[in-house]
């Protein structure tokens, strides 16, 4: 099995070679959210930059589809989990920058709502990891729906402390799933 | 049943693509340091056999055992011991040959201190030009095949599994490859498919004749049996029962 580190190096080199300009664009354009433009233009620009970047990130994550189809990943035992982690690191960091700055700076939402949305994203991410470990789609769906509902209801009925505890729980479950995935990789 | 003397075992293996039967009760085994050639007509199931052996596709029934372990989707660790060349060869088209080979070394757990030396050695061996300058996508079919061969042997595998290794190669590289296989075959197990009887007869010691998804004959290169006799026997088996194709009237 190809190690996580080598998979990460491969994914980074691959996307650097095939789409370095797009990567540069999504890694730098979040600065727009922090500019000192006043008025509607600021909102117009920021919203466009945010949504264009979301679309770019989505299509970039699909950029290695042909390596799946031509069985390159199978040939060199590069696991789905390692690829998912590597892409999450490569695209997750710029995505989080856009997500956080857009919500907190541009729209100025309540930080509790931001924390809730972030936790839901983490739940979806960890749900995807559960899927990789051959647990049924039903269980993964129940997990994601239950946690999302839990977090949303906590946001609407409770205060800061509950939110922090719940977010902590989500992060802990994520750490558990990641360590279990790495263990499975090691056993292979 | 696991036989410890055999490196590769296919026991009554079946494979279907929808309604099309590719393998139908395929059974054979390969011992250590054997050089086995799998021959048969187009569509008889040679590539499916290689793909199942290398865990690239699942089989429907029967049992495949490689290095004394049953091949399942989760049992992939044995693949580092194989030098695999599948047909068509697999690449990362956007990489240069040297970039690609570097990652192959990393994925195949080659000692990091040795990677540069090995890349230099195999690219010199196969005379791969423009190692650092041209992307693989822009190489000729023959050059691509050389890169694929280099990737298959760069980690010094115990077993070489080659599907149609001679296609697209120039005369010099074919000579080089047959010479290379003959040089290393006492220390390696070889499983190879090819339509080129002249070449496969030169490098293999046993031949499995395949027809309609199963082995129909097993020919051993023995003392007193000439290469021509083996070729004749293989041809007889492969063409047996086939009616002569009639040339269309309009083709003058």
| Residue in chain B lying closest to A2 (CA) | B107
Counting one residue from chain A and one from chain B, the pairs whose CB atoms sit within 8 A come to 51
Assess B73–A contact: CB distance below 8 Å, yes or no. Answer: no
| pLDDT score recorded for residue A161 | 67
B208 vs B91: CA distance, rounded Å: 29
Residue with tokens 């664009």: A25
Interatomic CA distance for residues A43 and A107, integer angstroms = 8
Average pLDDT of the segment spanning B190-211: 88
Closest-CA residue of A relative to B151 is A76
| B99–A13 CB contact, under 8 Å | yes
Partner residues linked to B193 by β-bridges: B38, B163
Cβ B56–A13 below 8 Å, yes or no? no
In the structure, what pLDDT confidence band is assigned to residue B106 with cuts at 50, 70 and 90?
A: very high
Tokens describing residue B159: 């077993």
Is the pLDDT at A182 greater than 70? The verdict is: no
Q: Do residues A2 and A183 lie in contact, with contact meaning Cβ atoms separated by under 8 Å?
A: no
pTM recorded for the entire structure: 0.81
Task: Tell me how close the Cα of A135 comes to any Cα of chain B, in angstroms.
Answer: 15
ipTM: 0.84
Residue from B89, B91, B107, B115 whose CB has the most chain A CBs within 10 Å, to mutate = B107
- Minimal Cβ distance to A77: which of B79, B86, B103: B79
With beta carbons less than 8 A apart as the criterion, state whether A135 and A184 touch: no
Of B159, B233, B152, B224, the residue nearest B189 (C-alpha): B159
Q: How many CA atoms lie within 13 A of B214 on its CB side?
A: 10
The answer to whether B106 contacts chain A (CB < 8 Å) is yes
- Tokens in use for B141? 């079919």
Interface mutation vs chain A, best among B92, B98, B99, B154, most A CBs within 10 Å: B92
The pLDDT value given to residue B60: 92
Q: Does residue B96 register a pLDDT over 80?
A: yes
> Any bridge partners for residue B15, and if so which?
B23
DSSP count for chain B of H helices, then E strands: 7, 10
Cα separation values, A44 from A32, A50, A51, A57, B216, Å? 11, 10, 11, 20, 72
Choose the weakest-confidence range: A70-79, A100-109, A110-119, A155-164: A155-164
Q: What value does the mean pLDDT take over residues A164-181?
A: 68
DSSP code string of A65-117: HHHHHTTHHHHTT--HHHHHHHHHHHHHHHHHHHHHHIIIIIS---HHHHHHH
CA nearest B206: which of B216, B194, B195, B191? B191
- For position A187, what pLDDT does the model report? 47
Cα B170 to Cα B173: distance, rounded to the nearest angstrom: 5
Domain definitions of chain A by residue range: 1-108, 110-188
Compute the distance between CA of residue A65 and CA of residue B222 in angstroms, rounded to an integer.
Answer: 48
- Name residues whose C-beta falls within 8 Å of residue B201's C-beta, 6 or more positions apart in sequence: B37, B207, B221, B227, B230, B231, B234
**Hey, of A77, A82, A86, A133, which one would you mutate to test binding to chain B, going by the most B CBs within 10 A of its CB?**
A77
Distance from CA of B129 to the nearest CA of A (A): 21
More confident residue, B240 or B232: B232
Supply A125's token pair: 């991410």
Nearest to A188 among B76, B107, B108 (CB): B76
The per-residue pLDDT of chain A, averaged, comes to 80
**What is the mean predicted confidence (pLDDT) over B141-162?**
91
| % of residues, chain B, pLDDT over 70 | 96
Domains identified in chain B and CATH numbers: 6-91+159-239 (3.40.50.300)
Tell me the two tokens of residue B238: 């492969």
Q: Are A170 and A151 in contact (CB under 8 A)?
A: yes
Enumerate residues 16 to 55 of chain B having a beta carbon within 8 A of any beta carbon in chain A. 54-55
């Amino acid at each position: 099995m190809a190690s996580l580190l080598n998979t990460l190096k491969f994914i980074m080199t691959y996307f650097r070679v095939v789409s370095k300009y797009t990567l540069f664009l999504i890694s730098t354009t979040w600065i727009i959210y922090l500019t000192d433009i006043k008025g509607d233009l600021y909102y117009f620009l920021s919203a466009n930059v945010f949504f264009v970047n979301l679309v770019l990130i989505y299509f970039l994550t699909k950029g290695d589809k042909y390596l799946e189809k031509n069985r390159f990943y199978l040939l060199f035992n590069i696991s789905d989990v390692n690829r998912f982690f590597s892409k999450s690191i490569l695209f997750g960091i710029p995505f989080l920058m856009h997500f956080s700055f857009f919500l907190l700076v541009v729209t100025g939402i309540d930080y509790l709502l931001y924390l809730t949305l972030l936790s839901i994203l983490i739940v979806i991410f960890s749900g995807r990891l559960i899927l990789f470990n051959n647990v049924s789609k039903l269980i993964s769906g129940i997990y994601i729906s239950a946690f999302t509902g839990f977090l949303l209801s906590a946001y609407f009925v409770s205060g800061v402390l509950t939110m922090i505890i719940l977010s902590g729980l989500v992060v802990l479950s994520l750490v558990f799933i990641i360590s279990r995935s790495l263990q499975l990789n090691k056993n292979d | 049943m696991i036989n410890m003397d055999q490196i590769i075992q296919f026991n009554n293996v079946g494979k279907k693509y929808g309604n099309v039967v590719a393998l139908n009760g395929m059974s054979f085994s390969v011992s250590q340091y054997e050089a086995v050639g799998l021959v048969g007509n187009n569509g008889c199931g040679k590539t499916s056999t290689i793909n199942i052996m290398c865990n690239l596709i699942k089989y429907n029934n029967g049992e495949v055992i490689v290095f004394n372990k049953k091949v399942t989707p989760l049992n992939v660790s044995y693949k580092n011991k194989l030098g695999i060349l599948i047909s068509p060869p697999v690449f990362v088209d956007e990489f240069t040959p040297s970039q690609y080979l570097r990652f192959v070394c990393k994925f195949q757990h080659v000692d990091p201190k040795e990677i540069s030396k090995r890349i230099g050695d195999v690219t010199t061996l196969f005379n791969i030009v423009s190692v650092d300058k041209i992307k693989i996508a822009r190489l000729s079919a023959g050059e691509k095949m050389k890169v694929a061969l280099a990737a298959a042997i760069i980690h010094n595998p115990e077993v070489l599994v080659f599907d149609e290794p001679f296609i697209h190669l120039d005369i010099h590289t074919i000579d080089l490859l047959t010479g290379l296989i003959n040089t290393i075959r006492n220390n390696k197990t070889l499983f190879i498919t090819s339509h080129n009887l002249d070449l496969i007869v030169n490098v293999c010691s046993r031949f499995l004749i395949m027809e309609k998804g199963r082995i129909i004959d097993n020919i051993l290169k023995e003392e007193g049996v000439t290469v021509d006799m083996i070729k004749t026997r293989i041809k007889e088996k492969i063409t047996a029962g086939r009616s002569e194709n009639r040339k269309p009237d309009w083709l003058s």
